[in-house]
Structure 1
Amino acid sequence: MSPLTVLGVFCGLFLPLSLSEYNTHNCIPRKSVLYQDNMKLFREEGIWNYSTMLVREDLGLLILGAREAIYALDIKDISIKKSVVNWPVTDEKLKECTSKGKHAESECRNFIRALHKMDHNTMYVCGTNAFSPTCVNVTYSEGHLTRGDRLEEGKGKCPFDPIQRYSSVMVGNELYSATSNNFLGSEPVVLRSGPSSLRTVFKSSWLNEPNFVYMDLVPESDNNPEGDDDKVYLFFSENAVEYDFYNKLLVSRVGRVCKGDVGGQRTLQGKWTSFLKARLDCSLPEPSLPSIVQDVFLLKDSDWTKSVFYAVFTPQSSLSDVSTVCAYNVSTIGQLFDTGKFKTPVTVETSYVKWVMYSGEVPTPRPGACINNAARALEMTRSLDLPDKTLQFISDHPLMDEAVPPLTGRPLLVKKGAMFTCLVVDNVLALDGERHAVLFIGTENGFVQKAVNYAGEMFIIEEIQLYRTPEPIKTMRLSSSTGQLYAGSDYGAVQMPLCDCGRYESCLDCVLARDPYCGWDLSSGVCSAVVNSTKFVQSLKNGDISQCPKSDTLKPENHTLVPGNNIKLPCQPDSNLAQVHWLFSGQPLLSGTKHYIYNGGLLILNASTNDAGPYTCESVEQVNSRTHTRTMAVYELQPQTNKAEEGTETMTTYSHSTPLPHDPSVLEPPLPPAPRSDEHRVVGLQVSVAVLSVMLVGLVAWNVYKGQFRSKSSETSGAGQLKGPSVDVQRSKTSEIKPLTPTSSHNANNNHSAFISFKGNGEHPFSGCNTLHVDGFGYINDESEI
């Protein structure tokens, strides 16, 4: 079989498989809310980098850290500044920093990176302080912020570099931090600062050029039958040591340490004895490099076993624009650490180290485990009592063999477009009695995507533009008690409500929004925040509008039709998921040379008296198997008479002899008459692939036919029936069997790539047409070869 045939068959079989996932890449928000001038914004001239936030509901404040400033803002309206404390670098520190080659404004300032709650009115604050990290206590009393006089060394607690990824969490009076421990940023450390300080071992098997993302405490000692300890979980990305790759390969990790860990007696003295890490799986169905975790949020439950980590991932390749969200159950992560296999390094060919699954005997107590009832039964009450054999094992084997699978076995949300940057999650009790996790996801262009999962279906309720110009959102916090979301960027901090039910003007629009915060109030006839009442209509999973009152019939707008003019009938659907259908005299109207349908309405070209009559614009939206139709506008075009009828308006028209006005919406391609769903696009692409495959088969058949004809001709020539120079006969035979070998110019233009197969552990296998390599194909330089 020829290479062209192989290519056609391969693409014909596998391209539709990859396209079947295309609809998940285009999860469209139902509503798009553009920037509004009434958005609550806080910023001050000359101050940048509003990227550190602490919500203090007990004080009614949002504590905001920026460059050389700490603000106390009203939690209900952050545009109201209650107090500010400045924390600039000294001239000496500035000079010292610039003398080491750092930029005076973008690096040698004091960027606030850590804000933690201490007692009732005190915050623990750390800043980069011109590459000399420093921490201090800040108190809020009688409406004023006050910075303490006692400065603390921030090395290991706060990064030196203002753009370096970092994370920390305050547990009691002890700070758990993950950052770099030196000026160059080359010594990563996971550190606990306090009465019993501990840190990680400085070697690549523990941390290999990591980027830290998130830390949080899970109280796993609560009602634990095994007498286990509380744990601090850490999320980060790092260069993988376990995969063979031609270049550094980033992978996402989750690690953990035990709260009661105090280090080893001899081995791992002053070091963590409980540090373990595992790869996070958030695989896409098509071949791709592992996606990289960017932010994590822990949705806590009163039963810690039901707590869930939600994580945002982005591709590490610049060729992809697909972001994902995955969820991980705390119990699943804990089970992998408690019972999973370890990886171990083995030496191959004297110098090369390969990581494989460890199949030998695991010491007792289990390496990396916290002190629990099983350890206490062996008279081990502290990590200091652990045997050296256990400690040496965990020192050499901190990595687990299996990856942590996502909660649903696949990503919750897969979306193309602007990259996701951060997220927060709210737990909302709806009228159906169930709690729903509502995700607020920040993007690199300043939007917030509000999404929720209903029975495995990820639904984006709306997207809200927070900044007038595209601005990457760097951090987000929410306050469930006040119902507000706070977002920070380099430009400023923005506040938005978790819900704005007033956006939905009709019962149908309110119910189809499927927003767990909102419902249609039958008594007042408006969409508002739900309360536990039977007077509200809400249908989150099915979008059932049967309980909505019937809407009033729209009265037609009468307009005069002027023959020869172009007439524009506006109609804008109230949902991005809705399809617009036009009816003329009750019959469907399709786009053509006469009627031009676009996303802003209908354009009638060169109108005539035959175009007079009723026009109806309908919005058709589908939820699951239910189709909902709503009349958006009704027009009645009446022919022009000598005297316009009373009560008839003159429609805005354009002379047929003059060009149409410059209207960007008119220039957009018309909508197809069929619903613009992703399934129809996939079917269209599959048909195109089938046609292409048939053409390839025809091409190959023609090639075979011509080859046989030339073969017979050459045989005839060889018998002496055709005379010609022997050199020409030789050239003819050579052209028939000429192999398709790569040329040097062709190889120079090839994009060589490699893909890794991550086996088992709940990952999705990589498959698809994108893995096809055509390096062995060359150019066809001779027309006789076709």
Structure 2
Amino acid sequence: MLPLLVLCLWCLPLLTAKQISLSTPRRTVPLSGNGGHVFREEGVWNYSTMLLREDLGLLILGAREAIFALDLSNITHKRAMVKWQVPQEMQDKCSHKGKDSQIECQNYIRILHKIADGRMYVCGTNAFSPTCDYMSYTDGRLTLENKREDGKGKCPFDPFQRYASELVDGVLFSATSINFLGSEPVVMRGSPEPIRTDFKTSWLNEPNFIGMQHIAEGEQSPEGDDDKIYIFFSETAVEYDSYSKLEVSRVARVCKNDMGGMRTLQRKWTSFVKARLDCPVPDTSLPFLIQDVFRFCPGDWSTCVFYAVFTPQSHTSQYAAVCAYRIADIRQVFSEGKFKTPVPVETSFVKWVMYSGDVPFPRPGACINNEAREKGVSQSLDLPDRTLQFIRDRPLMDQAVQPISDHPLLVKRGAAFTRIVVAGAVALDGSSHQVMFIGTESGSVLKVVNYNGHTVIIEEVQLFQPTEPVKTLRLSSSMLYAGSEVAAAQMPLSSCGQYRSCLDCVLARDPYCGWKLTAKECTAVSSVQQDSHSDVIQSLTDGNATRCPLIESSKAVNMSFLPGNTIKLFCQPSSNLARVEWHVDKRLVISSDTYEIQRDGLLILNASAQASGLYTCRSVETYNNVDYITRNAAYELRQGSGQTRQAEETSLLLPQAQKQQNTVVALQVIVVFLSLMLIALIMWNVYNGHFKILGRHCNQGQEAEGGQEFAPTLEPLQAADGKVSKAGSNSNNNHNRRSEGKDMTQQIT
């Protein structure tokens, strides 16, 4: 009963959640059609760590045993490269511990951070012996300084284990595993005052770390608050008693200047608290799990929003989701919410329930503020044991953090979401919008905007092969960079020139683009002068394209056919959201035994004389109950004469029929070629006398088997020189021997 109760608790918020419409990308385009570039180096894999150095105009790209410095404007231009390989003896040591020497026992670059003096801090897995170093870029060269440091607790041992890190004021905060087996997870701060989480399942229970974000909440804080480090991860839930493991998404928080406790929680976080992170997807029973998070702050830290992508933890669901969380809502849960507490029960080792007792002062898990200082607590070392013992045993909050509007921004069926970044865009009317770029398991990126609660997928751009997931995403002021196992890719945030008509430009609802009437082109609104706004059409929330001028109809293509043929008239819709309508002589075509309407055209089956007429294809895209129509194709179809039969059949053959015809021709060519080869082989054997020997061997075999009545025994033939000619003695006598044998056979007969 208890497991069922758990599932019901998860289903309850889903029943009241707002129904989410599933979205489809308006356009699907290849990277080449979007002005993108791809970088790969022969023999190098796992392009999964990126650092943008806009001050140097570089993208620092970490891969397996290599680090690249690429031109930010065009990543195909490699400025520099440095190798960081594992010595053979370390590979052997790693292999002896049971790891794959060719895959796991390599050095995967996992951490890249810029430090104050312009150098970079870099860490790699180094054959399950994590190591860190300093790197500089001078005079067009990348250089590792060989100031190696132990990377344990900073960088993962396992190259395929998720991790998180953040460099704040020169101090590294990290979330990873601290041992070879990956069984001791920690959230820690490095030198000069190292501090970490406790090894208790109530703190971290088989976590999968996703991201880490620094929020400067101490800046100009009237409460004298401290900066916070927020950690996002998923883990096995301790608060639910079920027959199988139930994973949940979490957000945790620590104070930047936490020093640990004096006696209790020495060198341990005194401010570590965590809460469940909900992303309620309708019609699902198990909670979705967080895969990536991005912080977007349009103003100061109080305006920050965390955008996160979620995927199901079971294979029964084929959906992925995006949820957004305000920093204010997360703060409220941690500052004012109830705690959970473990209680021993008879049917289980422990049960977690809401704590209803008194909460000590200072509040457990809170940062030191002015109120605490007034009570004589100026740092965490001054915290009383009662507060420390409380948070040591009860780091989990009872209340979950809910997304903005209590429902996802986007739910989409198909490839799972892997990564997300968010860019700000200012529309023509001055309004601000957040543009989400979402990486997928299928190697594509979705460009998504939410307008007043309605989510629009502007386009889907295929960056990598469909089997290569997007592993990292980074944003510059004008470009998006992505990494995968096989390559790195770059694409512009906007590519307005790809929209060729006014309708296409306006209905795309891209906040970066608008249609300029005088220039008759889709242009970037950021380049439009203030006094020229009336000359540009952009309608983001409504998709109103009524101001667009009419498009001239395309000329009809003349085609002829013979009765009984099957005809394919091609026509592509203007977008994935559009539908096609076919008319013949202004009459609407509907599917029947004669007509089959397909996504890319019209199929006319067993055409008769009545199939003649003017066929027009219209692409219809609907927004706010308004149909926007584009005539995409027109065909003047007429019954042809027998004299043009071959040309007509060639032009009207279906692709399948053409393929079959090509196959028949190819088979005929092969048969002719094989026949010629066989004739040549026979002639060669005849010339060399192989067939005569074969015939003689057959006769000898028959004689041995007693076949004399079919081949009578002949007397030896005497040659002109008086010598007896024996069988097989000389091939030059074969002709005479055959003729004489023939005469003797006639005499016997």
Same fold (TM over 0.5): yes
Output the CA distance in 1 between the equivalents of 2:255 and 2:375. Answer: 19
Output the CA distance in 2 between the equivalents of 1:530 and 1:290. Answer: 41
Give 2:293's aligned residue.
296
Give 1:382's aligned residue.
379
TM-score, with structure 1 as normaliser: 0.78
1:54-65 to 2 correspondences below 5 Å: 54-65=51-62
Residue identity matched to 1:134? T
Helix, strand or coil for the counterpart of 1:285?
A: coil
Query: Contact (CA 8 Å) 1:291, 1:314: kept in 2 or not?
Result: yes
Deviation at 1:47, TM superposition (A): 1.1
Greater mean deviation of Cα atoms: 523-532 or 591-600 = 523-532
Deviation at 1:31, TM superposition (A): 0.5
Query: Contact (CA 8 Å) 1:559, 1:651: kept in 2 or not?
Result: no
Q: Given the alignment of the two structures, is residue 34 of structure 1 paired with residue 30 of structure 2, yes or no?
A: yes
Give 1:674's aligned residue.
none
Cα deviation digits, residues 361-390 of structure 1 (max 9, x gap): 000111111111211221222111211111
Output the CA distance in 2 between the equivalents of 1:316 and 1:567. Answer: 48
Query: Contact (CA 8 Å) 1:55, 1:63: kept in 2 or not?
Result: yes
Helix, strand or coil for the counterpart of 1:519?
A: strand
Structure 1 pair 615–113 and aligned structure 2 pair: CA distance change class (3 A): same
Deviation at 1:518, TM superposition (A): 1.2
Give 1:569's aligned residue.
569
**Highest relative contact order (Cα 8 Å, sep 6+), 1 or 2?**
1
Greater mean deviation of Cα atoms: 625-634 or 138-147 = 625-634
Q: Which residue, 510, 521, 525 being the options, matches 2:505? A: 510
Unmatched 5+ stretches in structure 1: 1-13, 664-786
Helix, strand or coil for the counterpart of 1:408?
A: helix
Give 2:491's aligned residue.
496
Query: Contact (CA 8 Å) 1:613, 1:638: kept in 2 or not?
Result: yes
Q: Given the alignment of the two structures, is residue 547 of structure 1 paired with residue 547 of structure 2, yes or no?
A: yes
Give 1:592's aligned residue.
592
Output the CA distance in 2 between the equivalents of 1:119 and 1:582. Answer: 64
Give 2:104's aligned residue.
107
Cα deviation digits, residues 21-74 of structure 1 (max 9, x gap): 99734x111001135397411111211111111111111000011111111111
Deviation at 1:193, TM superposition (A): 0.5
Deviation at 1:221, TM superposition (A): 1.8
Deviation at 1:470, TM superposition (A): 2.3
Cα deviation digits, residues 126-146 of structure 1 (max 9, x gap): 001111110000001111111
Query: Contact (CA 8 Å) 1:507, 1:527: kept in 2 or not?
Result: yes
Deviation at 1:120, TM superposition (A): 4.8
Deviation at 1:641, TM superposition (A): 6.1
Q: Which residue, 270, 274, 278 being the options, matches 1:277? A: 274
Deviation at 1:661, TM superposition (A): 4.1
Give 1:326's aligned residue.
323
Structure 1 pair 350–513 and aligned structure 2 pair: CA distance change class (3 A): closer
Output the CA distance in 1 between the equivalents of 2:117 and 2:544. Answer: 47
TM-score, with structure 2 as normaliser: 0.82
Give 2:313's aligned residue.
316
Give 1:697's aligned residue.
none
1:524-539 to 2 correspondences below 5 Å: 524-531=519-526, 532-533=528-529, 534=533, 535-539=535-539
* CA RMSD, Structure 1 to Structure 2 (Å): 2.2
Give 1:773's aligned residue.
none
Unmatched 5+ stretches in structure 2: 1-10, 661-749
Structure 1 pair 165–632 and aligned structure 2 pair: CA distance change class (3 A): same
Give 1:244's aligned residue.
241
Residue identity matched to 2:548? C
Residue identity matched to 1:260? N
Output the CA distance in 2 between the equivalents of 1:642 and 1:146. Answer: 77
Helix, strand or coil for the counterpart of 2:91?
A: helix
Deviation at 1:662, TM superposition (A): 5.2
Query: Contact (CA 8 Å) 1:567, 1:652: kept in 2 or not?
Result: no
Cα deviation digits, residues 171-225 of structure 1 (max 9, x gap): 0110000000111111110010021111111111100111100001111123333
1:2-401 to 2 correspondences below 5 Å: 24-25=21-22, 27-34=23-30, 36=32, 39-349=36-346, 352-401=349-398
Deviation at 1:629, TM superposition (A): 1.6
Give 1:625's aligned residue.
625
Give 2:683's aligned residue.
none
Helix, strand or coil for the counterpart of 1:93?
A: helix
Query: Contact (CA 8 Å) 1:48, 1:490: kept in 2 or not?
Result: yes
Structure 1 pair 98–433 and aligned structure 2 pair: CA distance change class (3 A): same
Cα deviation digits, residues 418-470 of structure 1 (max 9, x gap): 11111111111111311111111111111111111111111111111112452
Residue identity matched to 1:323? A
Deviation at 1:292, TM superposition (A): 0.8
Structure 1 pair 270–105 and aligned structure 2 pair: CA distance change class (3 A): same
Output the CA distance in 1 between the equivalents of 2:639 and 2:484. Answer: 57
Structure 1 pair 148–634 and aligned structure 2 pair: CA distance change class (3 A): same
Give 2:687's aligned residue.
none
Helix, strand or coil for the counterpart of 2:329?
A: helix
Deviation at 1:500, TM superposition (A): 1.6
Greater mean deviation of Cα atoms: 562-571 or 505-514 = 562-571
Residue identity matched to 2:56? L
Helix, strand or coil for the counterpart of 1:277?
A: strand
1:350-749 to 2 correspondences below 5 Å: 352-480=349-477, 483-531=478-526, 532-533=528-529, 534=533, 535-640=535-640, 653-654=651-652, 660-661=657-658
Structure 1 pair 22–609 and aligned structure 2 pair: CA distance change class (3 A): farther
Query: Contact (CA 8 Å) 1:253, 1:277: kept in 2 or not?
Result: yes
Output the CA distance in 2 between the equivalents of 1:650 and 1:564. Answer: 12
Cα deviation digits, residues 519-543 of structure 1 (max 9, x gap): 1122211112213441321111101
Q: How many residues align?
A: 639
Output the CA distance in 1 between the equivalents of 2:394 and 2:155. Answer: 28
Query: Contact (CA 8 Å) 1:265, 1:385: kept in 2 or not?
Result: yes
Greater mean deviation of Cα atoms: 56-65 or 375-384 = 375-384
Cα deviation digits, residues 71-98 of structure 1 (max 9, x gap): 1111111111111111111222112111
Structure 1 pair 609–66 and aligned structure 2 pair: CA distance change class (3 A): same
Helix, strand or coil for the counterpart of 2:45?
A: coil
Query: Contact (CA 8 Å) 2:216, 2:301: kept in 1 or not?
Result: yes
Structure 1 pair 569–205 and aligned structure 2 pair: CA distance change class (3 A): same
Structure 1 pair 387–651 and aligned structure 2 pair: CA distance change class (3 A): farther
Cα deviation digits, residues 387-415 of structure 1 (max 9, x gap): 11111111111000010000121111111
Residue identity matched to 1:384? L
Percent identity reads 56
Output the CA distance in 2 between the equivalents of 1:566 and 1:349. Answer: 76
Output the CA distance in 1 between the equivalents of 2:326 and 2:413. Answer: 25
Helix, strand or coil for the counterpart of 1:36?
A: helix
Residue identity matched to 1:36? S
Structure 1 pair 651–479 and aligned structure 2 pair: CA distance change class (3 A): farther
Query: Contact (CA 8 Å) 1:35, 1:468: kept in 2 or not?
Result: no
Residue identity matched to 2:393? D
Larger radius of gyration: 2
Output the CA distance in 2 between the equivalents of 1:546 and 1:215. Answer: 46
Output the CA distance in 2 between the equivalents of 1:313 and 1:223. Answer: 34
